[in-house]
Structure 1
């Protein structure tokens, strides 16, 4: 029997120290690579602005500035399909490089050397970009006072420090800044797992606190007296079993989404695609919620039970293909438009997340060139990518199997993303 020797603690220490050193070297290398990528993105967009005809066709009309901006957007789309990131990510990283290089040169130099993390560089760029460009003293103070902190602090600690320094050096009053920031208020939805999503509102702080206080009040009332709830099924329950967090969420959902029509009588429509066997209770196959994805069968049946109307889409009983024939008019009929919205889900440009409701229906082969108004010659394009296709030296083709492929101004060919569901 082989003798088991105890682990030499000195060898373990050497291995641990070596692994730590590798992690440190890799971290610095990753920072340098990120900085180099940001710089390359910035330089590509600059070339597009200075030489717009590299990325846009002769049919583009407008002022020199408008053509330059359109060329930059075309270049950003080209980069996005090469790097498998969104166009907004390309533009954000290029903007961060420009901001750091011109507003915080010391932090930029240390980022390029690998001493500043990507997270801290992004924070510095965001906050430096929010300072007035006509206040060089404030920018210099911001750069100087945060250069060491950007290198030494963790992302959370650096965010706190950088926000404090920004407030100290800012040349504009908080009142003026708040008025401008309030113009950026908005609400958006981010999909999560298991049929859930985040609903986020960016509001003035006082309005947000008021809204939260009201949710707290209603949640506390329901926790103590469930019979006051507007939902009848809760009135029959002797005790409220939901947590305060769940009650706040349910109150918010009831206030914002539980009413199907506004006081003016204007209804709200949300599309849900439900397999017929699921609807009949003979299958648990998930349904598809527009703009989200799969939702559970029970929720789909509950939604369908309250739906004021249905749209039927006839499909082949074996292979599921839509039984649709060619159309002879340029205008897309409403029933075909509904089906195409289900099929595409949104804009077919790689990585674009704009929903079908906010897109144009484009003839892949132009109507003037003999293209037909048919399922295999129509696709959803948002207004930006629709314009890129026609004016930005981009081309879109569909093969015999129905797959779409884009070709960029610099020759990159990329297939359209497959439907996610």
Structure 2
């Protein structure tokens, strides 16, 4: 946790701010023009697909005739777009699909309600929805996209797609899980890719455990004389060679200069080949080290109704994708601790976090409430962020959830060392003001699973008074 001091580094005087404001205004004009050009390009390419279909009408082998017509048109357009005909043919198919099957998305894009990145996400995720149910998915997806950046909405749209899909996520997951496998893809220079197709929660847990084990190895380097706090950017030049053998650490580890990616790969290989890491800096003599005791951590949000088996709604694996209800129930049943979330009855925002075993309650609540870095547009998971005092402790700010928020290292530095300013409102809402005066409201993101129960049809009872959403 850090204070909120600002040095204004790199911003200069008010003249620089005015120049930046002019650049921002120009950028808005460029963005509008680019959007119009992108939409026109999509419609031109979609029209090319229609033309290919019309040219092949009545042919005895219609599929082959359409393919040949499409190839000819793509080759013609490839010269204009300075691309290969294969690329143009793929883009024609994508444009035709977008124009024909996503009319609401096209209309929202043309109206400036969403941007090209939103359109790609909607099209990528919407393809799993049967055509008859896609309009409802589009409507809900567009509403979500209007409130957040493209890189943040993908997980939410996956949850929307799961709810709209006529087949349950559990049923489809069971079919997909039957295809789990491990394969090897040979590569150049004596290297290969080992590919494991696994349920998402298992794959995410494997990566988490490898990362935690790699950090144990890297964090042991200061004992051998390497200064500084290691991070994921460590490279082959980050460690200082040493020949000391204190604390039972041999020279093979003291000279270790592997990056965290290399350590992860090596530990992964050791675990699969030998069962335990061959190189454990925490081991002493015949006593096992702590690496084998490290277990994977995943953050899952699941409704109480799903836990009780009353429904099969998918749960949310934070920062990844939905997981099936059966897996969520199994994780909850085997967990040594879990958090009960109290959410706002209208907005769904996390208000309180009641730990089953009350340890580090404040950090748990903030991670549950924030889910990711709270700087506009950033989705770095909260478990990889730092806690920041909105009002600096040196200025009287309290160490309380109403004055704390998760920020990644990059945006923590932006807050401290530039003219960006933030105010925290009740409910965890952050209001950011840029150096040019533009305001960005960052509401605390509600969990993607449903925590509220809709009123039954025809209910005559008056609902209890609830406070307005934050």
What TM-score do the two structures reach when normalised by structure 2? 0.38
Higher RCO (C-alpha under 8 Å, 6+ residues apart): 2
Larger Rg: 1
Q: Which has the higher helix share?
A: 1
